[in-house]
Structure 1
Amino acid sequence: MFQFFQKRLREYLAARRIQRTRLVTKDGRCNIEFGNVRYRNRFVLLMDFWTTFVEIRWRFVLLMFITSFAGSWFLFGLLWYWIAKSNGDLRWQDPPQNHTRCVDNVHGLTTAFLYSLETQTTIGYGGRAITDYCGGAVTLLIVQSILGAVINCFLCGVILAKISLPKKRAKTITFSEMAVICPKRDSLCLRIRVANLRKTLLIGSQIYGKLLRTTVTTDGETIILDQVNIDFVVDAGKDNLFFVCPLTLTHVIDKASPFFEMAVDTLHMQEFELVVFLDGTAESTSSSCQVRTSFIPLEIQWGYNFLPIISRTKEGKYRVDFSNFSKTVPVATAHCAYCFHNEKGHHHHHQHTGVENQGFEVIDIHDQLDGTKM
C-alpha cells in the first residue's frame, strides 16, 4: 500500500513539474507572467476598460455586478434622504399636517433606500411617489434614471460578451494527448489528431505549429524560446479544411525539419515544446477563434500510429468512436529520420490491419489490437 501511494506521489510531482515548465498548457493557456511593469503601463489597461472588464474572471464580474447596483441604490438613497431632510420631511423633524413633501412616504433612511431602489429598477409599488414641489428632487430623479440605464446596459453587455467569447467555442476543439512519429506514404511524419466536438463547422480553418527551444547562435548568443515554424498538412491541404470529422495533422520530417536530427533514443532527452495552433471562424456566430495545445518530448511516441476512429455503419452513416481518439498502436519505423531517408529497406513499414481503414469499412475497433497505448 505504501509503495502504491509513493508511486502516485511521484507521478503527481512529475506531472506538476511538467506543467510548470511548459509555456502553453494542454488546454491552451499561456504559462507566463509579467514583472516590473511600470504603473503608468498598468494604467493603460484601465484606458482600455472594455477589454479589461471582459477578460476579468467571473467572480470579479459578479462582484462588480452586485456592488454596482447595490452601491448606486445606497448612494442615491442617501441623496434622497438628504433632500427629504432639507425639506423637513423626516419623521423625527415632526413636519406639520399641511406640509408638502418632496417624495411621499419617504420619512427615514430605510424608506429613502427603498425609493431609490424602486426608481432605478422602475418598480412602482404605489406607496412612494415624487411630487412637483422640489426641483432638486426632479433633477435627482432624472440623473438616477439615466445612470441606472447606463449601469444596466454596460453590465449586461459585459456578461453577454463574456458568455459569447470565441475562446468558449475553442473548448469544443480537442487534440490528442500524444503525438506520434511513424511512416506515412513513403515519408517519416509527425502526426497529431484533432477533433471538432460540435457538428457545426469551423470555416476557413488553418493549422500551423511553432517549435520553442533554447538555441545558441554561432556568436555565442543564447536565444530563449526561439521559435521555429512547423508546417502541418492533412490529406486535403492545410488551409480551408473541411473540419466535419476528426483530422490527423501531419508534419513531414525532411531535411528542413528540426526533427530530422532526432532519433528514437534521443527524442526524450531533447528540450523543446511543440505548440500547435488551429485558427478558424465559427459557423454559427461568425466569430474568429484560436485553439492551441503543446507537446513536450515525453508526449511524442516514436514508432506508433493512431488507431482508426471513423467507420461506416450498416445503415450507411459515418460513425466516430472517440474512445480510441488518443489510442496508438506500434508500427515498424526507422530508428531515425536519417536512416529512413538513406538506408535501404526503411522506406516501407508493415501495416496493421485496420489502422488506415481506407475504405471506411464497418469495423469493431474495440476488438482490434491488444497492444494499444494511450
Structure 2
Amino acid sequence: MSAVRRKFGDEYQAVGPARCSARRERQRFVDKNGRCNVQHGNLGGESSRYLSDLFTTLVDLKWRWNLLIFLLTYTVAWLVMASMWWGIAYLRGDLHQAHDDTYSPCVANVYNFPSAFLFFIETEATIGYGHRYITERCPEGIVLFLFQSLLGSVVDAFLIGCMFIKMSQPKKRAETLMFSRAAVISQRDGRLCLMFRVGNLRNSHMVSAQIRCKLIKSRQTPEGEFLPLDQCELDVGFGTGADQLFLVSPLTICHEITSESPFFCLSQRSLRSEQFEIVVILEGIVETTGMTCQARTSYTEDEVLWGHRFLPVMSLENGFFRVDYSQFHATFEVPTPPYSVKEQEEKLSLSSPFNSPVDNNKTRGEQACLLDCVDIAGEKDKLPFKLQKISSRKESLPQRALRMSSSNTEKTFSTGDLLKIQEISPSSEGEDRDDRMQLKASEISAEALPQSASDLELHRISPSTGALEVKLEDNLPAKLLKMNSDCLS
C-alpha cells in the first residue's frame, strides 16, 4: 500500500474522511446507518392494528421496552398465581390448621402468602416437590395446577420466543457490512459512471447477495402534480447480472450514466445546485443462520465527489490477498470532463462531419469528391439514403468498363465499344436524374477520346502493341469480347 500511496500521491490529492465530514448536513430520508427517518402519526383508529400483530410489535420495540415487558409479565404472573394458591388455602381454612398433623390441607405446608408463592415457583420452574405438595383431597387445587401449567407454557413461549428472535435478528450482521462514506463520479471504460464501495468485514459470506439503488428526489409532473420524495430506480447491473455480488472482498458498485439514467443531464456545475439522495440497499442470506439480512445507507448530493476514484485496498501477500480497510473510504482526484453526458453527446454530434451544414458555395463536383472520399474511408454506411442509392447504382455498372473509361491504358478501345457498354448496362424507366447524369458523363468521356476506330485498327495490326492487346482482351468480359469481334469483322 505504501507503493500505491507513492504512486498516487505525486499526481493526485487523496481525500480522507475528514473532507467528507466537513460537508454540510441536511435532512435525510435514510440515515447513514440505514435507519429510515420516517415517523408515523395521527393513526387514529388504526392503532389497533398493532395489537392484532402483538408478537411483531414486541419484536420491533427497543431493547429497554422489551426487557421491561419481560420483567413485568413474569412478575405479575407470579404474583397473581401465588395469590390464587393463597386464596384457596384461605378459603379452605388451611392457614389456621397448617400445623395440625391430623388435618389434611389442599397444599401441605402452605400457611401464609410467602409459602404459597414458593409453592408456585417450585411448580412453575419444575424444580421438584419437597416440603410442599398437593394432596388428593383438593379438586380445586388440581384444576388450578392444570391452568397454571398451560398459562405458564404460553407465557414462556411468547416472551422467550420474542427475546430469542430479537437477539438473533440479522440487524447486527448488517453492522459488519461496510459502505464508503462518499460516492464518486468519474470515467470508467470511456463512460461516465457513478460509483461507491461496499465491503464485508466478516469471513462468513453473504449468500445470494444482491444490491439495489434508489434515487430519492422531488419532482413535478407535466400535469402540475408535485411528487415529494419520488423514487426512481438506478441500474447497477440488473440487465448484466452485475448486481449479484460475490462479496468476499471490497467491491466497487458502478452505475453507468446513459441516456436512460436520471443523471443524464448532471454536470459538475449542476451538482452543486441539485438536491437528491441515493439510497443503497444490500440484501443477502447470512451463511451461519440462514436468515435474510438487509443493510442500507444513503448518499446526498454533498457526498458525491465529481472527478474522484477510490484508492486500491487489495494487495497480494504470501499465499493470500490482504485488504487494507484503512484506505476503504479514501479517494483521489482524476481528470474527468466537467460536462454532463448529454452535453458530451451534443458536442460529438455537432463535431461530426455528417451533421455539419452544407456549404452552398461549393460546386457539385467538390461535394461529389467529398462523398467519394468518405466512401473510400469506409464511411459509406453513414451516408444518407439517397446518396447510398446513387452509389449503389454507380457500382452496378461493370467495374472493368468504368476503369476503361478512366485509365490511359483502356483508351485503346473504340468509341463504339464504350457506347455499347452503356447500352448493355441495365436501366429502367424509373431511373432518376442522377443516373442519367452518369450516363451522359460516360458518353462525353467516350467522345473525348483522341483516337478513332481506324487508329485502333492500326494499333491492333502493329506487332509492337499486339501483346498488349492480347493481354487486355483476356481481361475483358465475354460481352465486350463479342462486340469487338463483331466490329472487327
TM-score interval (norm. to shorter): 0.7 to 0.9
**Equivalent position to 1:86, from 91, 94, 108:** 91
Cα RMSD after superposing both structures: 2.3
Q: Which piece of structure 1 moves more, 150-159 or 208-217?
A: 150-159
Shift of 1:343: 5.1
* Contact residue 89 and residue 95 of structure 1 kept, 8 A: no
Shift of 1:261: 1.5
Shift of 1:242: 1.3
Alpha-carbon distance between aligned partners in 1 of 2:140 and 2:182, rounded to the nearest angstrom:
69
**Equivalent position to 1:198, from 202, 205, 221:** 202
* Contact residue 98 and residue 111 of structure 2 kept, 8 A: no
Partner SS, residue 189 of structure 1: strand
**Equivalent position to 1:103, from 103, 107, 117:** 107
* Contact residue 208 and residue 230 of structure 1 kept, 8 A: yes
The aligned amino acid for 2:233 is: N
Pairing of 1:33-48 with structure 2 (within 5 A): 33-39=39-45, 41-48=46-53
Match of 2:149 in 1: 145
Pairing of 1:301-340 with structure 2 (within 5 A): 301-313=305-317, 315-338=318-341, 339-340=343-344
Shift of 1:302: 0.5
Shift of 1:215: 0.5
**1:64 and 2:69 correspond:** yes
Match of 1:165 in 2: 169
**Equivalent position to 2:182, from 172, 175, 178:** 178
* Contact residue 74 and residue 116 of structure 1 kept, 8 A: no
Match of 2:397 in 1: none
Partner SS, residue 172 of structure 2: helix
Q: 1:55 to 1:224 in 2, by over 3 A?
A: same
Normalising by structure 1, what TM-score? 0.82
The aligned amino acid for 1:254 is: T
Q: 1:48 to 1:118 in 2, by over 3 A?
A: same
Higher helix fraction (1 or 2): 2
Partner SS, residue 282 of structure 2: strand
The aligned amino acid for 2:61 is: I
Shift of 1:289: 2.1
Shift of 1:266: 2.4
Alpha-carbon distance between aligned partners in 2 of 1:237 and 1:164, rounded to the nearest angstrom:
31
Q: Which piece of structure 1 moves more, 324-333 or 63-72?
A: 63-72
**1:22 and 2:12 correspond:** no
Identical aligned pairs, as a percentage? 40
Partner SS, residue 266 of structure 1: helix
Partner SS, residue 171 of structure 2: helix
Match of 2:160 in 1: 156
The aligned amino acid for 1:58 is: W
Partner SS, residue 192 of structure 1: strand
**Radius of gyration: which is bigger?**
2
Shift of 1:268: 2.7
Partner SS, residue 90 of structure 2: helix
Q: 1:95 to 1:283 in 2, by over 3 A?
A: closer
Alpha-carbon distance between aligned partners in 1 of 2:280 and 2:322, rounded to the nearest angstrom:
26
Shift of 1:295: 0.5
Partner SS, residue 83 of structure 1: helix
* Contact residue 180 and residue 304 of structure 1 kept, 8 A: yes
Higher strand fraction (1 or 2): 1
Alpha-carbon distance between aligned partners in 1 of 2:132 and 2:23, rounded to the nearest angstrom:
64
Match of 1:363 in 2: none
The aligned amino acid for 1:270 is: E
Match of 1:291 in 2: 295
Shift of 1:88: 0.6
Shift of 1:341: 4.5
* Contact residue 104 and residue 131 of structure 1 kept, 8 A: yes
Partner SS, residue 253 of structure 2: strand
* Contact residue 203 and residue 280 of structure 1 kept, 8 A: yes
The aligned amino acid for 1:30 is: C
Report the count of equivalent residues: 327
Q: 1:12 to 1:264 in 2, by over 3 A?
A: closer
Pairing of 1:120-269 with structure 2 (within 5 A): 120-124=124-128, 126-233=130-237, 237-269=241-273
* Contact residue 24 and residue 302 of structure 2 kept, 8 A: no
Which string of whole-angstrom CA distances, capped at 9 and with x for unpartnered residues, describes residues 280-319 of structure 1? 2222222222221111011111111100001111x13100
**1:114 and 2:118 correspond:** yes
Which string of whole-angstrom CA distances, capped at 9 and with x for unpartnered residues, describes residues 139-167 of structure 1? 11111122112212222211111122233
* Uncovered stretches (5+) of structure 1, i.e. residues with no partner: 1-10, 345-374
Q: Which piece of structure 1 moves more, 55-64 or 185-194?
A: 55-64
Shift of 1:53: 1.9
Alpha-carbon distance between aligned partners in 1 of 2:23 and 2:336, rounded to the nearest angstrom:
32
The aligned amino acid for 1:201 is: H
Which string of whole-angstrom CA distances, capped at 9 and with x for unpartnered residues, describes residues 21-74 of structure 1? 1110111111111122122x2112211222112211111221122122211111
Q: 1:80 to 1:12 in 2, by over 3 A?
A: farther
Partner SS, residue 42 of structure 2: coil
Which string of whole-angstrom CA distances, capped at 9 and with x for unpartnered residues, describes residues 154-212 of structure 1? 22211111122233322221110000011111011110000011122222222221111
* Contact residue 203 and residue 240 of structure 1 kept, 8 A: no
Shift of 1:340: 4.7
* Contact residue 281 and residue 296 of structure 2 kept, 8 A: yes
Q: Which piece of structure 1 moves more, 287-296 or 162-171?
A: 162-171
The aligned amino acid for 1:55 is: D
Shift of 1:219: 1.6
